[in-house]
Amino acid sequence: MLSLKENVYETLKNGKPDAFVNEWEPFPQVWDPVFYYMSPVAPGQEAVNPLGVKLYWGEEEPGAMPIVTDETKVCPDVTRWRDYVKFPDLDKIPFDWTQAKADAEKVRAEGKFVMVWNVTGLFESCHFLMGFEDTLCNLLMEPDAMHDLINAIKDFKLKQIQLLIDNLHPDVIMFHDDWGSKHAMFMAPDVWREFYKEPAREIYSLMKKHNIITMHHADSYCQPIAKDMVEIGIDIWEGILPSNDIQQIKKDTDYKLCLMGGIDASVVDRRDWTEEVVRAEVARACREYHEGGMFIPCLTYGGEGSIYPGVNDCIMDEIRKQSKIYFK
């Protein structure tokens, strides 16, 4: 029987795993001080992050979102973004790594992967600063200024990731950047390639340099750029929605991109959830996506657990049952 880590490695190389990787079981989250500094908000709260973005995390919602209005917008004119967007000097922040380092060592002792997050990626940072409408319009109307701003955001993200590497030596880094809605990308694929592909490549290249498993969270429709995701160094596309053709993406990427998700949160993670519905959706995902490997059944959220208590326990139990069917 393979260990949790061995089973992940076999899955990632499309080898011979002996079970489905069961959601986040091998990837417990290690919470770090950079994450708390950049995301100072909890469920039911409002807060302002170090870039001046107002955040709100609603009850029964999976994460925080920006509140961008005419009054709260950090960057009202992208051609003058340097006047508005002030990146803090992270070298001068007295981060306390004591607890995070202890948590990382505990995870290692348990034979699991040390995984850290870096949330609010390149595109998300843009719309956090100026809103969706301005971001998408500026990509077309002010391309030079947008290139400059995106590169500045990229450099700030690289610094965050280097701090994680230097202090925690993670095995896995999950980088969050949603590039689409449920059924379409937020921009044409060629626009994404023009503005975001190369900066994202630099981010994943830094992780690869340190032999880190690269996990990209995008619970959105990104099928048109799946091959690009492989090219820039992504090992796992986490959060893949079933609105993507998951089996076709495996073929399009020559089985080089591990797809983690496929369990529709809108179906299972509801106030009125039932065990029957949850188990049926998990069974559907395992049945439809197991062929060819390179699949980890998981809720499509960008992190462990469910909104409603009991849902995720039921999901993991059913994945264990499905493993007995598809792995002899």
Q: Which domains does the chain have, with CATH numbers?
A: 4-326 (3.20.20.210)
Q: Average the pLDDT over each of 42-46, 145-149, 203-207, 269-273 and give the range with the smallest value.
A: 42-46
How many Cα atoms occupy the beta-carbon half-sphere of 178 within 13 Å?
A: 20
Q: What is the pTM of this model?
A: 0.96
Other beta carbons within 10 angstroms of residue 267's beta carbon come to: 14
Determine whether 132 is exposed, middle or buried from the number of CB atoms within 10 Å of its CB (0-12, 13-18, 19+): middle
Compute the average pLDDT of residues 118-139.
97
Name the pLDDT band for 137 (thresholds 50, 70, 90): very high
Average pLDDT, the chain: 96
Confidence at residue 64, expressed as pLDDT on a 0 to 100 scale:
86
Closest to 40 (Cα-Cα) out of 25, 52, 27: 52
Element (H, E) at 116: strand 115-118
What is the spatial distance between Cα 83 and Cα 206, in angstroms, rounded to a whole number? Answer: 29
Written as six digits, the tokens of 263 are 């369990």
The per-residue DSSP string of 1-46 comes to ---HHHHHHHHHTT---SS---TTTT--B---HHHHHH----TTEE
What is the spatial distance between Cα 257 and Cα 264, in angstroms, rounded to a whole number? Answer: 20
Compute the average pLDDT of residues 247-269.
97
Q: Average the pLDDT over each of 63-72, 75-84, 96-105, 193-202 and give the range with the smallest value.
A: 63-72
Closest to 310 (Cα-Cα) out of 288, 277, 284: 277
Compute the average pLDDT of residues 224-249.
98
Element (H, E) at 300: none
Q: Average the pLDDT over each of 36-50, 173-187, 210-224, 251-265 and give the range with the smallest value.
A: 36-50
Confidence at residue 59, expressed as pLDDT on a 0 to 100 scale:
82
Determine whether 177 is exposed, middle or buried from the number of CB atoms within 10 Å of its CB (0-12, 13-18, 19+): buried
Compute the average pLDDT of residues 142-158.
98
pLDDT above 90: residue 42: no
pLDDT one-digit tens code per residue, 290-319:
999 999 999 999 999 999 999 999 999 999
pLDDT above 90: residue 328: no
Compute the average pLDDT of residues 197-206.
98
Compute the average pLDDT of residues 200-205.
98
pLDDT one-digit tens code per residue, 45-71:
899 999 999 999 988 788 889 999 999
Give 47's strand partners: 55
Return the biggest CA–CA distance within the chain. 61
Share of the chain above pLDDT 70, in %: 100
Name the pLDDT band for 196 (thresholds 50, 70, 90): very high
